[in-house]
Amino acid sequence: MDGTRTRRSLGLAGRINLVVVMTLVLGLGLVAWLFAASLTSARESIVDRNLQHESDILYLSIENFMMPGEAPIAARFFSEVAGLGSGYRLGLYRRNGEEAFSDNATINTVNANVGRIRFQPRSATVAPSSMGIPERPLLERATSIPPESVFFMWKEGGKTYKRVYRPLLNLPKCTACHGSDHTIRGVIDLRADISDTLRAETVTVAASASGFALMSIALAAIIGRLLRAVVVDPVLAIGRLCLDVTGGDFSGRVDVERNDEIGGLASTVNGMVEGLRERYELTKYVSVGTISSLASGQDARRVERTLLFTDVRGFTSYTEKHGAEAILAVLNRLLDNQAQIIVGCGGDIDKFVGDEVVAVFSGDDAPVRACDAASKIRAAVSAGADLYDSLAVGIGISTGQVVQGMVGSSRRADFTVLGDAVNIASRLCALAKPGQILLCDCTRDRLPSGAFPIDGPYKARLKGKAERQTVYIMTESPAAGGKKEAGDEA
């Protein structure tokens, strides 16, 4: 372990899909939950209401049997209703939890209250069954003051019941037989088997949840695909275009024709790439020095530079003999080749003046690179004589202090160099014969010994200079040195 953690980031498409899926799962999950809850609530409401109505009917039935003193009929009625079906159970409990109609306790109480044998005690009785412990709190709740019907779920024998404890009041008209010392006589215990209903409800909820899940997946896929088409793909296309631009390819464009934010972004990026392309194209016409000066400021400064001038020899007479298209074709090939060599040697094309190239080299090894460029230009032009209709160039190189800065008007200016070294390079170029490279002594002095085959020194009269100047000739092969008159060679 090097302690470096790589964290995989989720892409835009992944994030959008994640948000979509989470939204759908939460949204549809909430809907599914509400559906299940409302289904359960509706079922419970219906079951409870039915139980309440049934217990009301039973209550009134018992009350109406009891009042005329027909308790045995009430007991038989109760017994028969309890046996109506397997899914339906019925019980009657005293408030102490003992099952009613099972012993002589109530009969004895009634007989005592009315002061006579109103009902004959049962000859055979069974011990009253009592409620189980879990039911006691519910019984107490149902028989508290004020009493209330208590509904609850109950599981027994693998079945699920909905039960209700319906309190039986000791009404004033009941007190003659049952006494006035209590308010609640007991409860009706009515239970309905809802196992099948619950099973059907579970199946319905499961089917609905599955449907919602499938719908979530389908919607996520559709929305994800839609978002991919509407958002992700255009963004990815914009990203690819930016990568192309970074690699120098300005030809691409994002094809998004829409009147929305993405369309606006694509249009802006296309405009930006077009602007970058135009600026890139501009570098062909404007020197690197000009461009860099725009970036770094336009203050003039005095610096040492090596100037390289080339000029096509006999070009004026060539133009008189050839058509314009042929002239431009040959000239452009010639200038392009020279420009490539100069740039390859670290030089900056300052300007093209007709068939003349003006290049500037900077840095400590500027004279070496300028001479290297000149040598390569001469070799290239010589080797490509067929391409250039046997035209040749003369080359002048000078090194010295120059003033570098913006020259021109506020509307049109060049970042160029001025000074004696520029003039000398220009004069040397003018003096050079076809295929000849002339160097000033300042350049020669800055070349490592033996780096180039140099012949000279020679003395040459340059226009604008009162004194004859020391000049060297870079030959194509090493030559014996010796002081000569420039007029002999140059």
How many residues line the site for another protein (CB under 8 A)?
16
Which are the contacts of 475, defined by CB distance < 8 A and separation ≥ 6? 453, 454, 455
Which are the contacts of 199, defined by CB distance < 8 A and separation ≥ 6? none
Spatial CA neighbour of 283 closest among 256, 254, 235, 250: 250
Least distance in angstroms from the C-beta of 177 to another protein? 11
Rounded Cα distance between 383 and 437, Å, is 16
Site membership for another protein, residue 64 (CB under 8 A): no
| Diameter over CA atoms, the chain | 168
Phi and psi torsions of 434, nearest 5°: -55, 125
149 to 178: interface string for another protein, x by CB under 8 A: --------------------xxxxxxxx--
> E strands, 362-445, where?
392-408, 413-418, 437-440
149 to 133, 136, 138, 152, 194: CA distances (angstroms): 19, 14, 10, 10, 19
Give residue for tokens 């009404």. 171
Least distance in angstroms from the C-beta of 179 to another protein? 8
Least distance in angstroms from the C-beta of 145 to another protein? 8
Figure out which of the listed residues 181, 257, 364, 386 binds another protein, where binding follows CB under 8 A.
Answer: 181
Nearer to another protein, 185 or 427 (CB): 185
Least distance in angstroms from the C-beta of 254 to another protein? 24
Nearer to another protein, 60 or 328 (CB): 60
| Pairing relationship of beta strands 301-313 and 184-193 according to DSSP bridges | unpaired
Least distance in angstroms from the C-beta of 105 to another protein? 19
Least distance in angstroms from the C-beta of 147 to another protein? 6
Figure out which of the listed residues 43, 159, 182, 277 binds another protein, where binding follows CB under 8 A.
Answer: 182
Nearer to another protein, 173 or 240 (CB): 173
Nearer to another protein, 178 or 277 (CB): 178
Site membership for another protein, residue 180 (CB under 8 A): yes
DSSP-based three-state secondary structure for 164: strand
Tally of CA atoms within 13 A in the half-sphere of 55 that contains its CB: 27
Query: What tokens does 218 get?
Result: 């389908």
Nearer to another protein, 146 or 482 (CB): 146
Site membership for another protein, residue 53 (CB under 8 A): no
Site for another protein in 183-202 (CB under 8 A): 183
Instruction: Report long-range pairs for 463-466 (Cβ below 8 Å, ≥24 apart).
Output: 463/427, 463/430, 464/423, 464/427, 465/424, 465/427
Phi and psi torsions of 99, nearest 5°: -75, 135
Least distance in angstroms from the C-beta of 142 to another protein? 12
Nearer to another protein, 1 or 145 (CB): 145
Nearer to another protein, 175 or 292 (CB): 175
Nearer to another protein, 171 or 230 (CB): 171
- Tell me whether the omega of the peptide bond preceding residue 457 falls within 30 degrees of 0, making it cis: yes
Least distance in angstroms from the C-beta of 118 to another protein? 17
Site for another protein in 125-154 (CB under 8 A): 145-148
Least distance in angstroms from the C-beta of 182 to another protein? 7
Contact (CB, 8 A) for 432 and 394: yes
Residues that bind another protein (CB under 8 A): 145-148, 169-176, 180-183
